[in-house]
Amino acid sequence: MKRSATTLFIILATLCFLLELEAKTFDPYKVLGVDKTASQREIQKAFHKLSLQYHPDKNKAKGAQEKFSQINNAYEILSDEEKRKNYDLYGDEKGNPGFQTGYPGGQGGPGYSGFNFRPGEQWGSGDQGGDQGGAKSFSFSFGGGDSNSFGFGLDDLFGSFFGGNSFGSKSGSSFGNSFRSQSGSKSSPKSLKAINSNVYQKEIVDEGMTWLLLSYLPSLRGIQHFESIIGEVSSTLQGALKVGSINCEKEVSLCKELGVYSRKVPRLFVYSYKENEKGSLVEYGGDLSVKDLKAFCQQHLPRFSKRIDLNQLDQFSTTGKLPRVLLLSTKKNTPVIWRVLSGLYRKRITFSDVEVPDVYDSRVKKLGVDALPAIVGWLPNGEKLILKTGVSVKDMKSGVQDLSNILDSFEKVSKKETSSQSKKEQADSEDGHIQLLSRSNFEALCGEKTPVCIIGAFRSSKAREKLESLLSLVSQMSLSRKPNPGGSSRDSISYALLDSAKQQTFLNTFDKTGYKSSDKLLIAYKPRKGKFTVFTGEMTIEEVENFISSILSGDIPFRETQKKPVLK
């Protein structure tokens, strides 16, 4: 029995020596090849480089797996401020001094958690007396039982000593199975925003920003390698991309709902706006490299800016109720920063962009642009504003912020102008005045809810006064009344004025000549059917009244428009 105990002690003493030797030789700084004063950025870059070099999927050389495990162990320590501080102070990331010998009574020093063995004693002996036979007590610690304290996997080491048999147990499992190598230990990304159902719905879904998401189980291998790659990509696309992680062990229902559950390896997804306006998750299946993942993320940035042809520049204007911005640049493709902004403002501002040869092009000069790149804006009422020329940005993040400030100011002007215009139109309507047709009131006056819209088109101030007077009188007669929003009268008519000189494109929709020879005329337009008829006769109250009466009785034929009329 004594011989057995002595043999066991020799084995354990040898094991202790090897473990202490390993603990002394494992230096995370040396493993990653960085100085003790290295910044987190330098540590991350070193980890990324070595992870790619020794990753088991790419490096089949003998010892690559063990090296990869050490690299992960080192990064686990140095990427955590508390663990790094503890290692620098104690040589152990938990704050334990590691292997201790020679303490009184055989006890370890601060943080000690281990066993004492004395030569000549039996395993599990109840004798707790002092030293026997002059033998000194010998203590060693497993660092509080943490598998990471040694910085390497113990499975192989204990297996080689004990042949894979159970130690102090009848379970048949190896003692070393209670220790894991770092690459298989439970961990979670530290620098990635944790995503749950609430965050996903409020900050990601349909918010216009592209997200790169990592789904994982804490027990999976290689999470730190994924985190390192994601960190590199997000730093190069800062301002254009947000990153987050979903722990599928905690967020089981969310992972299953989204179809991102990770069973064998972590998975990467991009919340993309490439296919349609509504975002969706697209899984990344390429090589786990910064270059490839960055290209994938750029491909899936928002695409809400409409590319227009340079020849259409002189006809460009805004439509609908939203203000519009146009980027003029020499780029063949829509710039990344403009794509990012188009996503962030997609429900507030309409985005377009155009490639121009240079600032001296006549079409560019006509817009009043004197330097490229330039941003021109149009308010809903058609007013044009030069928002910025000679645009210059230092980086993506600051560029997005600077241009956002410009767009925010433009949006405020637009809202103020729209509010003022609406109040004026309401006052004119209440006073019986005929409104000038504009983009902001087109839907109300000549939209599809209006059966017939009578448009008085003029080319001079005298013609405007004449038409306004006639239409004001006719609109008060019982034969025609303005649309009742709550009714369904088929003979409801709305009235509006149109400046022919400014709206030539609008008039060309009805006739190729645009009625350029007419100083004043009346257009009866049926928005629902896309049909119209024109009166160019003598503008007297009797003639205008007969024209409208004939429309209501169906005595005047209508013809189809060439396309839907749009105001500049």
Look-up: residue for tokens 């000679």?
Answer: 390
* pTM exceeds 0.75: no
pLDDT, tens digit (0-9, with 9 covering 90-100), for 84-102: 888 888 777 665 554 333 3
Lowest mean pLDDT among 35-44, 311-320, 403-412: 311-320
Residue 417 has pLDDT above 90, yes or no: no
In 166-307, where does DSSP find H-type helix?
197-199, 223-236, 252-258, 290-299
Residue 350 has pLDDT above 80, yes or no: yes
Greater model confidence, 503 or 317 = 503
pLDDT reported for residue 320: 61
Average pLDDT over residues 322-326: 92
pLDDT, tens digit (0-9, with 9 covering 90-100), for 27-72: 899 999 999 888 888 888 888 888 888 877 778 888 888 888 888 8
Greater model confidence, 310 or 479 = 310
Local confidence band at 144 (pLDDT 50, 70, 90 cut-offs): very low
Look-up: residue for tokens 């229902």?
Answer: 253
Residue 313 has pLDDT above 80, yes or no: no
Whether a cis peptide bond, with omega within 30° of 0, leads into 483 is: no
- Paired sense of beta strands 241-247 and 210-216, if any: parallel
Local confidence band at 20 (pLDDT 50, 70, 90 cut-offs): low
Residue 488 has pLDDT above 90, yes or no: no
Ordered domains of the chain (ranges, CATH) = 2-184 (1.10.287.110), 193-299 (3.40.30.10), 306-418 (3.40.30.10), 435-560 (3.40.30.10)
Residue 222 has pLDDT above 50, yes or no: yes
Instruction: Give counts: helices (H), strands (E), the chain.
Output: 17, 18
What is the helix (H) or strand (E) element at residue 507, kind and residue range?
A: helix 504-508
pLDDT reported for residue 526: 93
- Of the chain, the percentage scoring pLDDT greater than 70 comes to 72
Helix (H, G, I), strand (E, B) or coil at 135: coil
Alpha-carbon distances, residue 509 vs 250, 458, 473, 530 (angstroms): 60, 16, 28, 11
pLDDT reported for residue 432: 55
Burial of residue 184, with CB atoms counted within 10 A of its CB: 0-12 exposed, 13-18 middle, 19 or more buried: middle
Closest C-alpha to 482, from 521, 449, 522, 509: 449
| 8 Å CB contact between 88 and 94 | no
- Of the chain, the percentage scoring pLDDT greater than 90 comes to 36
Local confidence band at 3 (pLDDT 50, 70, 90 cut-offs): low
pLDDT reported for residue 329: 94
Residue 143 has pLDDT above 70, yes or no: no
Greater model confidence, 178 or 380 = 380
pLDDT reported for residue 476: 77
Helix (H, G, I), strand (E, B) or coil at 508: helix
In 217-315, where does DSSP find H-type helix?
223-236, 252-258, 290-299
Report the Cα–Cα distance between both ends of the chain, in Å, rounded.
102
- Count the neighbouring beta carbons within 10 Å of the beta carbon of residue 355: 16
Greater model confidence, 71 or 111 = 71
Residue 431 has pLDDT above 70, yes or no: no
Residue 223 has pLDDT above 70, yes or no: yes
Local confidence band at 142 (pLDDT 50, 70, 90 cut-offs): very low
pLDDT reported for residue 115: 37
pLDDT reported for residue 70: 87
pLDDT reported for residue 10: 63
CA distance 98 to 1: 31
pLDDT reported for residue 425: 54
Q: Crossing angle, helix 223-236 and helix 290-299, to 10 degrees? A: 60
- Count the neighbouring beta carbons within 10 Å of the beta carbon of residue 117: 19
Amino acid at position 431, single letter: D
Residue 328 has pLDDT above 50, yes or no: yes
Alpha-carbon distances, residue 1 vs 9, 15, 129, 136, 222 (angstroms): 12, 21, 19, 21, 46
The maximal CA–CA distance of the chain, rounded, in angstroms, is 133
Residue 406 has pLDDT above 80, yes or no: yes
Greater model confidence, 314 or 22 = 314
pLDDT reported for residue 438: 83
pLDDT, tens digit (0-9, with 9 covering 90-100), for 155-214: 332 222 223 333 333 333 322 232 233 333 445 566 799 999 999 999 999 899 999 999
Average pLDDT over residues 310-325: 73
Lowest mean pLDDT among 34-43, 160-169, 392-401, 527-536: 160-169
Greater model confidence, 449 or 466 = 466
pLDDT, tens digit (0-9, with 9 covering 90-100), for 264-281: 889 999 998 865 678 899
Phi and psi at 491, nearest 5°, equal -105, 15
Average pLDDT over residues 208-237: 91
pLDDT reported for residue 429: 52
Alpha-carbon distances, residue 139 vs 1, 2, 20, 113, 525 (angstroms): 22, 20, 12, 10, 98
pLDDT reported for residue 522: 94
